[in-house]
Every structure is written in C-alpha cells, then in structure tokens.
Chains A and B, each alone.
Chain A
Amino acid sequence: MVAKVKVLYFAAAAEAAGATEELLTADDTRSLRRQLTDKYPALAAIPFRMALNKTMLKGEAQLTTNDIIAILPPFQGG
C-alpha cells in the first residue's frame, strides 16, 4: 500500500530540500529515505534522522496515509 505522507524539513534539511514541507508517497521509511536523497542530493550529505508523528524513529516503519515524517538534522540546542 502506497501512503501519502507529509514530509517536514528542518534547518539544514530545509536548505537542502529548498522547502519546509511537501506531500510525498511512499510505502515505508526506508523507501522514503531513498526517494529523498535521490531527489535532493544535498540531503544525502546530512546525517539526518526521521521522526514519525513527532516521535523519533527507531529502525524503519511502514507508512500510512496522513502520517507526518520530519527530517531532522543533528540537534544543536543549548
């Protein structure tokens, strides 16, 4: 099943994508990750992690329509 998901880009990931959000379709986070780095080569240079519905992703996950995936460069708070 192909899911239609909202992808959010933050900080360096937003600069690499040239956008802060977009709608994409993917089966799972693994294929979404590949799709993103193919589409935005600059993103491949960033060691980003993903959050699925505001929770940090551990491993990979199936996607469901309306899921929100956030592309998170290394955190720099403090």
Chain B
Amino acid sequence: MKNRYLVGGPITPLLISELMTLGDDDTGTGAVSIFIGRVRDDEVEDKRVKAIEYSAYEEMAVREADGIANTVRSAFTDVRSVIIVHSLGVVRAGETSLFIMVSAGHRDHATRACRHTLEMVKEKLPVWKKELY
C-alpha cells in the first residue's frame, strides 16, 4: 500500500482478505457491505481491453478519500468504519481495482452507505485511467 487509500497494482485476493479483517474486533458491527470493482475487458473499436493503467493526483486523492469517509460517517449515523482502496498503475482485466467496505450496526446503513461511498469515489477521487490493448 502506498498509503491507506492507494495501492500499486491490483488489489489482490490476499489484500482483500486482509482488509476484510479490519475492524473485526468491533463487536458492535452487525453488518458489513463490500463493493469490489474489477477491470472489464471491454471491446473498443475492435480492440479488446487487456488492462487499465491508473494514475492519480495522489496527495489530493488522500485528502478527498478522507473527506468522503468523514462525510459518509456523518451522513449515516449507524456506520462504524469506511475503508476505501484504489489501485494505481497497471491492473489487468479480471483483476480488482477498487475495494470499498462499510461496517455498520445494521444492514440498512451498511448497504446504503457503501453505495453512497462508491458514488462519491467515482465523483471526487482524482484518478484517471488509460486502456491498454
């Protein structure tokens, strides 16, 4: 991990399993909602996407991710933790480039806050992609 929000290369199954243990000592959590975003092998002008290379304004991305996590925690009072991890560099089709995990007391805020976090990440995180064929 380059910092708590950005990781070089794909988010591996090993990293995902490690991230899933975060907060497992919080026994007030009754619901955990996870979103996993993967690179899709879209066909663009007769060419198949093999990978995506992600770049970011890293310092701003950290500030924005902090802001997103704080906003979500304020908006959904039952939420206990918000984890956001995005890839930088090359991620091949089928591999994971985005991981979001929201823990809450109950399922309603866990699922809705996870979706809200995802939409804010899409809107606010200064990340760009370049398709590799």
Q: What is A's interface to B at a CB cutoff of 8 Å?
A: 8, 10-12, 51, 54-56, 70, 72-73, 75-78
Give the total number of A-B pairs whose CB atoms are below 8 A apart: 53
Q: Which residues of A contact B63 (CB under 8 A)?
A: 54-55
Q: Which of A10, A72, A77 has the most CB of B within 10 A?
A: A77
In the bound assembly, the distance between CA atoms of A43 and B130 in angstroms comes to 18
Nearest CB in chain A: distance from B73 CB, A: 20
B97 at the binding interface (Cβ < 8 Å): yes
B125's nearest neighbour on chain A, judged by CB, is A77
B37 at the binding interface (Cβ < 8 Å): yes
Q: Contact: B60 with A77, CB < 8 Å? A: no
Q: Contact: B57 with A76, CB < 8 Å? A: no
Residue in A10, A72, A77 whose CB lies within 8 Å of B121: A77
Q: Which residues of B contact A54 (CB under 8 A)?
A: 57, 59-60, 63
What are some 10 contacts across the A-B interface (CB < 8 A)?
A10-B126, A11-B55, A11-B130, A75-B123, A76-B128, A76-B129, A77-B121, A77-B122, A77-B128, A78-B122
Q: Which residues of B contact A72 (CB under 8 A)?
A: 57, 126
In the bound assembly, the distance between CA atoms of A74 and B65 in angstroms comes to 17
B16 at the binding interface (Cβ < 8 Å): no
* B47-76 vs A, Cβ < 8 Å mask (1 yes, 0 no): 000000011110110010000000000000
Q: Contact: A78 with B97, CB < 8 Å? A: yes
B127 at the binding interface (Cβ < 8 Å): yes
12 new A-B contacts at CB < 8 Å, known A54-B59, A78-B127: A10-B126, A10-B128, A51-B60, A51-B126, A55-B60, A56-B124, A72-B57, A75-B124, A75-B126, A77-B121, A77-B128, A78-B97
B128's nearest neighbour on chain A, judged by CB, is A11
Known: A11-B128, A51-B126, A54-B63. A77 touches B57 (CB 8 A): no
Nearest CB in chain B: distance from A28 CB, A: 21
Nearest CB in chain A: distance from B66 CB, A: 11
